[in-house]
Amino acid sequence: MTATAPISGGRVELAPADVPADSRFANEDLLPVPVARRRWTTYNFAALWVGMAHNIPSWLLASGLVALGMDWKQAVLTIALANVVVLVPMLLTGHAGPKYGIPFPVLARASFGLRGANLPALIRAGVACAWFGIQTWIGGQGIFVLLGKVFGGWAEAARIGGQPWTLWLCFALFWALELAIIHRGMEALRRFENWAAPFVIVGALVLLVWIAAKAGGFGPLLDQPSTLGWGAGFWPVFFPSLMGMIAFWSTLSLNIPDFTRFGAGQRAQAVGQALGLPTTMTLFALLSVFVTSGSQAVYGVAVWDPVALAARTDNVFGLLFALVTVLVATISVNIAANVVSPAYDLANLAPRRIDFRGGALITGVVGVLIMPWKLTGTPELYIFTWLGLVGGLLGTVAGILIADYWLVRRTVLDLADLYRPGGRYWYVRGWNPAAVAAFAVGGVLAVGGSHSAPGKGPFPQDGLIPLLKPLADYGWAVGLTASLVVYVVLMTARRRNRPAAA
């Protein structure tokens, strides 16, 4: 039995009888969203991206690139180009959401198999857990700095594990607040993002107006030349930086169906994302540069961290406003980008035992255990090693998903078989060998050449596989292209050998 015919706008709904009640591959959170509950509009998707883009790590992206030698124009150009590039796979994978109402791990079953989908799901979940920890640590630091200004003496508190116990307290309280919000479910998240987006924009503009008023204009930072130039010194930094910036949102290019499954139609998700992602990230990068420029004019030093800059005011109301803005901005991105996905991914691992809320709790625990304070130590570690490695692997998975959904199946899925063993997506004991092979080839090519400068990272100077070192700077693009080509070739050969198979 197959899913019912499209209802409206090409959207498909699953008949209740199509999935056995005792199916070990389904639970309430993994089943398709009924068409009646697919209500997210263009504004909802745009607000989602505004809320996610306006956060401290996004603000610090430009500073990381400037620290590597770029001037502000080169940094903003790199960020803008990266977000235009990553928007393409975002829209392609997001298409399945409004049409079928399914989350990312269920979409991955079409290409990897019902059991094999756990491979990309766990990779995505692991990345999200790490990002959740990073964002929570940064948010906790923001609360610590601002409350320290209000109450005083926090930084001098007794130390535990090399940090003041008050910092650990802020980290723990922020962690608990995030999980409390996500416990209320996706509808609560939609409402939170709707008002969080404009609030954070106002907060960022207030910071700009404040520093501009103190500076009497913007300082000399905008006139600082690039130490790299536009020649031979620029490109070796530009390409790995571009891949790192792409990797910043490449996580969402996989699990965006987790959100678009609630979309009222394709136009809502496509226009909303196009309006929300590249424009917001570019404007936010510009805003961070302008504010930092003003800080150099006022304080004689470029203060790239917005929390550290806000902490320089002695106005209690200003400090409290900055505190609330940091809270809202960080919660907005962290829950949407780094809790929703692993919650679904972990539920896919064991649908009978783990639901959406259980997956969110596991995410919160793992996010602490990975010690996020280690991952953000230096720009080299953060941009080249962490983001570059993550981008290579996620690009590989994205290539397979796009190849399967658009090139092999032409966006046509048997919705019921995504939940039933023995169906067309069962392949070999629940695994699709073509997807596994494509992932292996793409993954090795994407990250096999990973290398670190002496004393700057965990990889050998000549790369894990020296022959592949030249590809390391293009990891996301290499992984996506290689896996896409290999998957299409293998699936085409499979269909020729087994014409009756899907």
3-state secondary structure at position 302? coil
Mean pLDDT for the stretch of residues 483-501: 85
pLDDT at 3 over 50: no
Mean pLDDT for the stretch of residues 240-248: 80
What is the distance between the alpha carbons of residues 315 and 64, in angstroms, rounded to a whole number? 29
pLDDT at 403 over 50: yes
How big, in percent rounded to 5, are the helix, strand and coil portions of the chain? 70, 0, 30
Give the residue with greater pLDDT, 167 vs 247.
167
pLDDT of residue 482: 97
CA atoms within 13 A on the CB side of 498: 7
Residue entry with tokens 């969402």: 252
Mean pLDDT for the stretch of residues 225-245: 82
Give the residue with greater pLDDT, 33 vs 294.
33
- DSSP class of residue 163? E
Mean pLDDT for the stretch of residues 249-268: 90
What is the distance between the alpha carbons of residues 482 and 26, in angstroms, rounded to a whole number? 32
pLDDT of residue 381: 58
pLDDT of residue 386: 60
pLDDT band of 457, cuts 50, 70, 90 = low
Which alpha helices (H) appear in 448-474, and where do they start and end?
none
Contact 160, 168 (CB under 8 A): yes
Mean pLDDT for the stretch of residues 492-501: 74
Pick from 153-162, 235-244, 366-375, 429-438 the range whose average pLDDT is largest: 429-438
Those residues with Cβ within 8 angstroms of residue 319's Cβ, 6 or more apart along the chain or in another chain: 146, 149, 150, 310, 311, 313
Give the range among 56-65, 444-453, 487-496 with minimum mean pLDDT.
56-65
Looking at residue 477, its amino acid is: A
Looking at residue 162, its amino acid is: G
Q: Can you give the pTM of this predicted structure?
A: 0.84
What is the distance between the alpha carbons of residues 265 and 98, in angstroms, rounded to a whole number? 5
Beta-strand relationship, 159-160 and 163-164: antiparallel
Length of the chain counted residue by residue: 502
pLDDT of residue 59: 79
pLDDT of residue 6: 55
Mean pLDDT for the stretch of residues 460-473: 86
The whole-chain average pLDDT of the chain stands at 84
Kindly state the tokens that stand for 323. 């505190």
pLDDT at 501 over 50: no
Give the residue with greater pLDDT, 337 vs 48.
48
pLDDT of residue 2: 45
Give the residue with greater pLDDT, 187 vs 49.
49
Give the range among 68-77, 372-381, 385-394 with minimum mean pLDDT.
372-381
pLDDT of residue 92: 96
Give the range among 89-103, 319-333, 436-450, 466-480 with minimum mean pLDDT.
319-333
